[in-house]
Amino acid sequence: MDAGRKRELEAKVYAGERLDAADGLALYECDDLAWLGRLAHHRRTELAADRVMFNVNRHLNLTNVCAASCAYCSFQRKPGERDAYTMRVHEAVAKAKEMEGEQLTELHIVNGLHPTLPWKYYPRVLRELGAALPGVSLKAFTATEIHWFEKISGLSASEILDELIDAGLESLTGGGAEIFDWDVRRHIVDHDTHWEDWSRIHRLAHAKGLRTPATMLYGHIESPEHRVDHVLRLRQLQDETGGFVVFIPLRFQHDAGGDPRNRLQARTVMASPAESLKTFAVSRLLFDNVPHVKCFWVMHGLSLAQLSLNFGADDLDGSVVEYKITHDADRYGTPSTMHREDLLDLIRDAGFRPVERNTRYEVVREYDPPVPLARRRAEPQQVWA
């Protein structure tokens, strides 16, 4: 990028002017990571100062049985496969209860599209989880699952959301978004929930008072044009509803064990750390009306998660005790367990002030800021894998 274009983009960012698609593409073409980081960090600091939010949650996957076979997914199993599982309601509750001592504030529940489970199973699970873990927020189901419930129940998404909210649903999850552009989507997604239904369901959830996350799966067969298009669709919907609370770029994972279900890995390389930092920075700058950008450390590793906090991210997910969807694919050494104290250290070691939040991004507890690194040189430093 020439110096003139850089000055022009910098002026827009510092004046708080909205960037357009051409600006987003120009930013992706720029390899000056330090400069991109400075712009994104400026915007991130305007919104969040030196705070990094986190929550203490548990990811629960009720079933890995799925009627679809998305090309990037090594989680799904077909009915009757040896390691296919579906939790009975009491098993799901028992699994969640194991975490009680962790003082968790949120359960994050996503599942395969089970071909035969009745619709009524889902509100029942929410009700029983809510009764067993009072005070724990239930963030559950992707828009894809809500669309699936419409098909298996004959109810409308509005009726489904009403029943789930009545059963204790506090937020949808942001999954199922992947990449919205059809030229990419038709090669990677094997269900029929695309932009039209995904956005319809989130719009509906926002109208019912839920605030929801939005995700983007990058680093496979998409190009920067598709990432820019994806974010701008979300930005336009956010202009309309104001209901998105956070944007989460998710790095496509290869399966080190060569799981044949993950059909995309044969023709892709995973996004490099530099590409990931660029994606965080450009997302923060383009998606100017979303309050938070989250790094899901399970998909990036802990060192990159720390760096992402200087490239636009201000939220870390989470205190995950077990996360099956990623960890069926990821055997690169990232731990599957982080507890509250680990996250506090991780955030402070990166130079930020930890703030614990709940599902609605309300502050649960503010923690002390970090001791500046210059004053800690004599102490042993933790290396985060």
Binding site for ligand SF4 (CB under 6 A): 66, 68-70, 73, 75-76, 112-113, 144, 191
Residue type, 224: P
- Residue 246 in contact with residue 216, Cβ under 8 Å? no
Q: How far is the CB of 376 from ligand SF4 (least distance, A)?
A: 42
> Which residues, 6+ apart, have CB-to-CB distance to 265 below 8 Å?
254, 255, 258
- Residue 68 in contact with residue 45, Cβ under 8 Å? no
- Helix (H) or strand (E) holding 184, with range, is helix 182-188
Strands 212-218 and 353-357: unpaired
Cβ atoms within 10 A of the Cβ of 307, count?
A: 20
Q: What is the DSSP string of 237-279?
A: HHHHH--EEEEEEEE----TT--TT-GGGGG--PPPHHHHHHH
Q: How far is the CB of 372 from ligand SF4 (least distance, A)?
A: 43
Pick from 362, 360, 358, 347: nearest CA to 314: 347
Cis peptide bond upstream of 176, omega within 30: no
Q: How far is the CB of 250 from ligand SF4 (least distance, A)?
A: 11
Give helix then strand counts, H and E, for the chain: 15, 11
* Cα-based distances in Å from 134 to 93, 96, 137: 12, 12, 8
Cβ nearer to ligand SF4, comparing 12 with 191: 191
Residue type, 267: R
Give bridge partners of residue 55 from the DSSP assignment: 317
Tell me whether residue 239 is exposed, middle or buried, using C-beta atoms within 10 angstroms of its C-beta: 0 to 12, 13 to 18, 19 or more.
Answer: exposed
Cβ nearer to ligand SF4, comparing 112 with 291: 112
Pick from 283, 261, 279: nearest CA to 270: 279
Percent helix, strand, coil in the chain, to 5, is: 45, 15, 40
